Amino acid sequence: MDDAELNAIRQARLAELQKNAGQKPAAQPDNKEEMKLSMLSQILEPSARERLSRVRIVRPDRADAVEQYIIKLASMGSLGRRLSEDDVVEILEGLTRDEKKHTNNQIVFDRKTTDFDDDEDDFFD
């Protein structure tokens, strides 16, 4: 997708939002969700959308993070083409790497010290 197409999409969305500005606030979340889905359908190939839907079944939070990241890239104009399934997998792996950096998976054993020494153990003599 080149810049002209993205600008045309943005203009159409802006006009749609301005037209729907008079609607009641309860309809806004549906409108945002529809807008997000339509944007993703334009950005992602069908195989990538399928992968993202399978991820959503298992980890909805991770799927939301990937969708937000993809929409952010598209709004900045960083995407020059539609994203494939491999691209979505790369984004997921990057998210996993970032999450692992922020978590501390170290197990620390804090054992009690005893006053007994192994040499003083005369049970088996």
Domain assignment of residue 112, yes or no: no
Taking only the tens place, the pLDDT of each residue in 74-84 is 888 888 888 99
Taking only the tens place, the pLDDT of each residue in 16-70 is 877 776 655 555 556 888 888 888 888 899 999 999 999 999 999 999 999 999 9
pLDDT recorded at residue 11: 81
Domain assignment of residue 116, yes or no: no
pLDDT recorded at residue 51: 92
pLDDT recorded at residue 23: 57
Query: Among residues 94, 93, 89, 92, which one has the least CA distance to residue 47?
Result: 89
Domain assignment of residue 86, yes or no: yes
Domain assignment of residue 35, yes or no: yes
Q: Which two tokens stand for residue 19?
A: 């037209």
Q: What is the pTM of this model?
A: 0.57
CATH number assigned to the domain comprising residue 94: 1.10.8.140
Residues 45/51, Cβ–Cβ less than 8 Å: no
Lowest mean pLDDT among 28-32, 99-103, 109-113: 28-32
- Residue 119: band (very low, low, confident or very high) from pLDDT cuts 50, 70, 90: low
Domain count, the chain: 1
DSSP class of residue 112 equals P
Cβ neighbours of residue 92 under 8 Å, at least 6 residues apart? 55, 62, 66
pLDDT recorded at residue 91: 92
Domain extent, residue 72, equals 3-19+30-103
Domain assignment of residue 119, yes or no: no
In the beta sheet, which residues pair with residue 83? 44
Q: Which two tokens stand for residue 54?
A: 């399978």
Domain assignment of residue 34, yes or no: yes
Say whether 121 sits in a helix, a strand or coil: coil
